[in-house]
Amino acid sequence: MDFTSHMLSLAWKFPRAAGYVVQAHRKCSAWVASLSPDVRKRIRGVLRGVGGAAVSVTRFTENVYIHVISYPNCPPTKWSQPSRFVLVPLAHLILFFQPVVADWEGDIKDGKVLFVANKSVWGLEMPAMHSVIYLKTGKLVRFQIDPLHFKLPLWKHILEYFGAVQSSPSIYPELMGAGHTMVWFPSSVIGEHSDSGIEGDIAHMYPMDTSDGSAVTPGAEFAVWALDSGYAIVPVANIGMSDMLPVRFHLSLEPIYTASNIVTRVLPSSLTSFLPHSSSHKKPTLPIVLPRSYERQYMRFASPARTDGPFRKLLESEYEVTQSPRVRRTGRPSISVSTPRLATTLSTRTLYAIDANLLYLRELRDADPRRHVLAPVWNAGRRLGQCVLGMERKMKGGEKLVRRHSAKALRAMAGWVDVEDQAANQKMMTEKADELKSKALDRPRSMPERPRSGVESLVESGFVDFMEPSPVW
């Protein structure tokens, strides 16, 4: 009966598809009717066995999935922080692979703190941010993510173990009422700028006051929660992830969501609970990033803006002086300031603080010589290569020197005819040396002839006979 009703509902939802299914059923029926009774009987048995096995596997998988997802059944407000023996090594390990330059402007003395930060690509800076906050305050912050993560077994349990909660409008007031440390990414910061590769460019996204100041502007919800629960707001600015993983283009997920909606309408709800569903107020896209470098992350935690007790009165007096028309006209403060007005002012101040700290972090990043994490490794490798190259050059020079001395030694050994008959060789060499010496002594000297003078030439020719020729030198 359930199967029949399900098929009828499908036929009602997809009238055209129902006609094609009916035609296909008629053709299959005609083909089966042409078969012999024995073959038809075997086909029915096989189909019944396959159908029964499929139903059994589906029911077993569904029961296992339901039990695994529902465990542990603990409300978010009853969550307890994991042991420090787990969190401290994990935090140091995360910061080892994702180095962070953190700057704190003020101290956090109370655990009732709401961190308001800008978000980067896919929220990949969140593990490092949580590690920095935990090592500074000893508190693991709670955060919210898309409900799709909580439909995946094991991944859902890991997220819940570390304090993640599903996105819900009422979850933050409940957790802040229980005193948990929270982190919030405003819509004016999370929106399109979170995945566009432009970190923290939110100056034109500031909320604007309404005409009467009675309504909370979009993006200022966190200020209302902080004022109602007495939480201190800490603006957090972080950059670096978009430099390391810039977004190249956005991949539209509309085809996937469309197919998911069709499958959801075709299959029972128990089998499609984990499929994503698109919403009418947003266009689902997936940012595609390409790694460009390996850089440090820079974070700056501004001074906390307290909202409890006398600090709220200071906020009210500040709003009265700067915003209230009655004060500007008469100089007297008004009786009371509503929470939405204070929330609007507080959210504006928070986002301005984030924007100012982003400018500071950009200057710090540009002036940091250790911005690139692998720069020391690169320099060490380059120096090692230079050392190896210098050693090769020195080795080549040493080889030349060895070859030179080897050649000299071979030339010295070239006269040794017989090493064993050293005396004969010495005698032969002595005789040769004496022979060469005697030849050199018996050789007549050939001196250059001195040129004759004019008188000597006349005497020799007989023209002048009264002079004897001078002896030749």
Question: pLDDT tens per residue, the chain (473 residues)?
Answer: 455 666 667 666 667 777 777 788 888 888 888 888 888 888 888 888 988 888 888 888 888 888 888 887 788 888 999 999 999 999 999 999 999 999 998 777 777 899 999 887 778 889 999 999 999 999 999 998 888 788 888 889 999 999 999 888 788 889 998 889 999 988 644 433 444 444 443 333 334 343 344 556 667 888 888 888 889 999 999 998 888 888 887 777 777 767 766 666 666 665 555 565 555 545 667 778 888 888 999 999 999 988 887 777 777 776 665 665 555 555 555 545 677 778 888 888 899 999 999 999 999 999 998 888 887 777 777 777 777 776 666 666 667 777 777 777 776 666 554 445 555 556 666 776 677 767 666 655 555 555 555 555 555 555 445 444 444 44
Q: In this structure, which amino acid lies at residue 379? A: N
pTM greater than 0.85 (yes/no): no
Task: State the pLDDT at residue 470.
Answer: 46
Distance CA 422, CA 473 (A): 50
Nearest to 242 by CA among 287, 205, 285: 287
Nearest to 144 by CA among 160, 158, 129: 160
Cβ atoms of 237 and 264 within 8 Å: the answer is no
- φ and ψ of 322, to 5 deg: -95, -25
Tokens of 275: 């499929």
Residue with tokens 């977004």: 247
Cβ atoms of 222 and 116 within 8 Å: the answer is yes
Q: 76-246+290-373 sits in which CATH class?
A: alpha beta
Task: State the pLDDT at residue 335.
Answer: 47
Characterize 31-46 residue by residue with b for buried, 16 or more Cβ atoms within 10 angstroms of its Cβ, and e for exposed: eeeeeeeeeeeeeeee
Tokens of 336: 């009371």
Handedness of CA 413, 417, 421, 426 (dihedral sign): negative
Distance CA 310, CA 316 (A): 10
- Cα–Cα distance list, 305 to 231, 234, 350, 465 (Å): 9, 6, 9, 139
Cβ atoms of 159 and 145 within 8 Å: the answer is yes
Report the number of secondary-structure helices (H) and strands (E) in the chain. Answer: 17, 9
Q: In this structure, which amino acid lies at residue 409? A: A
Handedness of CA 146, 151, 152, 154 (dihedral sign): positive
- Quick count: other Cβ atoms within 10 Å of Cβ 356? 14
Distance CA 100, CA 244 (A): 13
Task: State the pLDDT at residue 1.
Answer: 45
Cβ atoms of 248 and 290 within 8 Å: the answer is yes
Tokens of 247: 């977004």
Task: State the pLDDT at residue 213.
Answer: 45
Cβ atoms of 340 and 214 within 8 Å: the answer is yes
Handedness of CA 16, 22, 24, 27 (dihedral sign): negative
Enumerate residues 6+ apart whose C-beta is below 8 A from 418: 424, 425
Domain ranges of the chain: 2-70, 76-246+290-373
Cα maximum dimension of the chain: 169
- Quick count: other Cβ atoms within 10 Å of Cβ 98? 21
Characterize 315-353 residue by residue with b for buried, 16 or more Cβ atoms within 10 angstroms of its Cβ, and e for exposed: bbeebbeebbeebeeeeeeeeebeebbbbbbbbbbbbeb
Task: State the pLDDT at residue 340.
Answer: 76
Task: State the pLDDT at residue 188.
Answer: 45
